Amino acid sequence: MNHYLHVKADDAAEAIENYISMHNLNPHDRIPSERAMAEELGINRTTCREALKRLENEHILYSIVGSGTYVAPPKLRTSIGMGFSLDAYCEVNASSVPIN
């Protein structure tokens, strides 16, 4: 990845975090699609995709294949940061997820 894309992705990640805050999104709220977010922020999809990956790596967001990208709960952010696995988090919290 070139340096320009790296800088743009950093700015885009910050803009996505600002979007989450400004729209009062809560844990487990779905964020707009990659395409819609790129349009909203006025960036290209490649940069948006890289920014979303960074935020997932930082445990600010999580994604579910075929469903979308969601705001991670603070517990997930701190638990993973402290060395706990996502699998363990899911096992502990599986009973609190509603089944439709």
Please report whether residue 77 resides in a domain.
no
Model pLDDT, residue 40: 93
Q: Mean pLDDT in the chain? A: 81
The domain total for the chain is: 1
Model pLDDT, residue 68: 96
CATH number (domain holding residue 22):
1.10.10.10
Consecutive H or E run containing 57: helix 45-57
Task: Answer yes or no: is pLDDT of 5 > 70.
Answer: no
Please report whether residue 84 resides in a domain.
no
DSSP string, 14-53: HHHHHHHHHTTPPTTPBPPPHHHHHHHHT--HHHHHHHHH
What predicted TM-score, i.e. pTM, was given to this entire model?
0.70
Residue range 49-74, pLDDT digits in tens:
999 999 999 999 999 999 999 999 98
Task: Answer yes or no: is pLDDT of 88 > 80.
Answer: no
Provide the domain limits for residue 33.
Answer: 3-72
Residue range 12-39, pLDDT digits in tens:
999 999 999 999 999 999 999 999 999 9
Model pLDDT, residue 74: 85
Please report whether residue 82 resides in a domain.
no
